[in-house]
């Protein structure tokens, strides 16, 4: 990766505090972000950040805005760029109908109608058909399929614009998507920005289509976010990405047949670049909805974890949980009433330690606030623990169920609670049995791929949990 520039944020660049960010200690600190951080604000910073918005006007305000962005407590408020200088790169293999649909959408959108388009045919069986559909674009061809990473890199190498948009051939961007994403390039340290990926056809029949439209692995949700390992949005899919060409260097790792998008994001953030998720821009995706294809795809995604572990270690951990949160959940499950008392003791001790860590000299310990934060964190960790029991580590769960009645009961309760919690926000759009079937089958497929990838790589790091960074004050 090329290192990011040292240029500050430009005058006029504006950031806005994110939803849920709390002001603490009379406005001298901010609590928020993912993972949570407590930021102490110097008097000058407090004066600059009197409200929820901060506009860059000089070096001091630029430094504060950058700090807020990097802590994940603020998001940029950027204007759209109606005619961005961008090359669109489209990798394709045999999907001529999808390619024709995508190119038609690009030509119909005023924001992309004049953009140069590079189509990379990655070893299609009928190259003449691809060439006919791609007429009017720059067409590159690989005689033999080399994978989507190599196809995107081929387009990246011939692009001569400052920015490159990668759009898969099974996507259809909504009008204005590129203008919305391009505004983020005003940040000189912004390497990648991704739109929200939604379902192309909401009227497709079958419960798989309904489930995938609501809970697709490609949909990162409705909230804008900083993207980095260990955060609420740890990666963005390569279905559609807008990238600063100079940040990518050689681009995607062509040795990775899967998870090459996650690897790229993590290499960029590791080098000091920023990556953003911008759901105001939307791109529809032609989801796989045939049961067999859908499950095979989920298992394929799971195999990528071992490849990521070889490159990024604990960043790929399936579960990030603090020792006290783990103890708080495990003790009641296996030690009954005494375990519940032990859990309460663990949570109380964690609250005291957190209160001491963030205390302001001369002020009372914020025990109540700390206890509330500990309880919220414990609830979040419980949801993550339930997911790994039924998803990443289900082979271990099954093994425990074979030898323990208590494990069978606990696993059943966790599976039901996890499914109901996932279904509840979508209860008006899908029935519970269909959602439960989708949730459990998807988890079984992904977990099987995860374990198969780890066994094939002879590397178990993708299966190991990790501890989070503690909530701590930052100056």
The whole-number pLDDT of residue 245 equals: 95
The whole-number pLDDT of residue 37 equals: 81
CA 52, CA 18: separation in Å to the nearest integer? 8
The whole-number pLDDT of residue 326 equals: 87
The whole-number pLDDT of residue 361 equals: 78
Q: Which of 5-9, 32-36, 395-399 has the lowest mean pLDDT?
A: 32-36
pLDDT band at residue 473 under the 50/70/90 scheme = very low
With a cut of 80, say whether residue 475 has pLDDT above it: no
pLDDT tens digits, 418-433: 999 999 999 999 999 9
Domains and CATH numbers, the chain: 14-77 (no CATH), 86-288 (3.90.550.10), 323-474 (no CATH)
The whole-number pLDDT of residue 254 equals: 96
The whole-number pLDDT of residue 104 equals: 97
pLDDT band at residue 470 under the 50/70/90 scheme = low
The whole-number pLDDT of residue 185 equals: 97
With a cut of 60, say whether residue 474 has pLDDT above it: no
The pTM of the full predicted model, rounded to 2 decimals, is: 0.93
The whole-number pLDDT of residue 79 equals: 93
pLDDT tens digits, 169-201: 999 999 999 999 999 999 999 999 999 999 998
Q: Three-state secondary structure along the chain?
A: CCCCCCCCCCCCCEEEECCCCEEECCCCEEEECCCCEEEECCHHHHHHCCCCEEECCCHHHHHHHHHHHHHCCEEEECCCCCCCCEEEEEEECCCHHHHHHHHHHHHHCCCCCCCCEEEEEECCCCHHHHHHHCCCCEEEEECCCCCHHHHHHHHHHHCCCCEEEEECCCEEECCCHHHHHHHHHHCCCEEEEEEEEEECCCCCCCHHHHHHHHHCCCCCCCCCEECCCCCCCCCCCCCEEEEEHHHHCCCCCCCCCCCHHHHHHHHHHHCCCEEEEEEEEEEEECCCCCHHHHHHHHHHHHHHHHHHHHHHHHHHCCCECCHHHHHHHHHHHHHHHHHHHHHHHHHHHHHHHHHHHHCCCCCCCCHHHHHHHHHHHHHHHHHHHHHHHHCCCHHHHHHHHHHCHHHHHHHHHHHHHHHHHHHHHHCCCCCHHHHHHHHHHHHHHHHHHHHHHHHHHCCCHHHCCECCCCCCEEC
pLDDT tens digits, 96-128: 999 999 999 999 999 999 899 999 999 999 999
Using a pLDDT cut of 70, give the percent of the chain over it: 99
The whole-number pLDDT of residue 469 equals: 67
The whole-number pLDDT of residue 145 equals: 95
**Cβ proximity of 55 and 9 under 8 Å:** no
Q: In what order do the strands lie in the sheet with 14-17?
A: 53-55, 14-17, 74-77
With a cut of 60, say whether residue 26 has pLDDT above it: yes
pLDDT band at residue 472 under the 50/70/90 scheme = very low
pLDDT tens digits, 55-93: 999 999 999 999 999 999 999 999 999 889 999 999 999
The whole-number pLDDT of residue 355 equals: 85
């Amino acid at each position: 990766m090329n290192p990011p520039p040292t240029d500050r944020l430009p005058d006029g660049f504006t950031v806005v505090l994110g939803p849920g960010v709390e002001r603490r200690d009379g406005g001298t600190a901010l609590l928020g972000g993912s993972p949570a951080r407590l930021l102490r604000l110097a008097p000058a910073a407090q004066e600059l950040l009197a409200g929820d918005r901060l506009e860059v006007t000089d070096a001091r305000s630029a430094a504060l805005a950058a700090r807020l962005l990097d802590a994940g407590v603020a998001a940029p408020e950027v204007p759209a760029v109606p005619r961005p200088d961008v090359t669109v790169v489209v990798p394709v293999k045999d999907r001529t109908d999808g390619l024709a649909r995508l190119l038609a959408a690009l030509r119909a959108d005023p924001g992309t109608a004049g953009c140069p388009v590079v189509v990379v045919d990655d070893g299609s069986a009928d190259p003449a058909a691809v060439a006919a559909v791609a007429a009017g674009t720059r067409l590159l061809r690989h005689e033999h399929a080399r994978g989507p990473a190599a196809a995107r890199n081929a387009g990246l190498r011939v692009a001569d614009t400052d920015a490159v948009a990668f759009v898969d051939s099974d996507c259809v961007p909504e009008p204005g998507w590129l203008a919305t994403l391009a505004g983020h390039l005003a940040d000189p340290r912004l390497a990648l920005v991704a739109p929200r990926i939604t379902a192309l056809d909401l009227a497709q029949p079958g419960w798989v289509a309904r489930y995938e439209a609501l809970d697709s692995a490609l949909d990162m949700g409705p909230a804008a976010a900083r993207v980095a390992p260990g955060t609420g949005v740890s990666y963005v899919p390569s279905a559609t990405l807008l990238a600063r060409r100079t940040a990518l260097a050689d681009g995607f790792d062509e040795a990775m047949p899967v998870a090459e998008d996650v690897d790229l994001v993590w290499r960029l953030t590791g080098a000091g670049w920023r990556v953003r998720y911008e759901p105001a821009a939307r791109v529809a995706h032609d989801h796989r909805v045939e049961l067999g294809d859908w499950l095979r795809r989920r298992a394929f995604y799971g195999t990528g974890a071992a490849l990521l572990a070889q490159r990024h270690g604990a960043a790929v951990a399936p579960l990030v949980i603090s020792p006290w949160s783990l103890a708080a959940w495990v003790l009641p499950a296996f030690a009954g009433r005494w375990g519940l008392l032990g859990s309460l003791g663990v949570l109380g001790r964690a609250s005291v330690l957190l209160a001491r860590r963030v205390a302001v000299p001369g002020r009372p310990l914020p025990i109540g606030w700390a206890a509330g934060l500990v309880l919220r964190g414990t609830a979040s960790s419980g949801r993550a623990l339930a997911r790994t029991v039924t998803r990443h580590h289900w082979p271990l769960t099954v093994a425990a169920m074979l030898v323990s009645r208590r494990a069978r009961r606990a696993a059943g309760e966790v599976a039901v609670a996890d499914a109901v919690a996932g279904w509840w926000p979508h209860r008006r759009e899908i029935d519970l049995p269909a959602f439960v079937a989708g949730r459990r089958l998807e988890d079984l497929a992904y977990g099987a791929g995860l374990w198969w990838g780890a066994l094939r790589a002879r590397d178990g790091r993708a299966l190991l949990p990790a501890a989070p960074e503690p909530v701590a004050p930052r100056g």
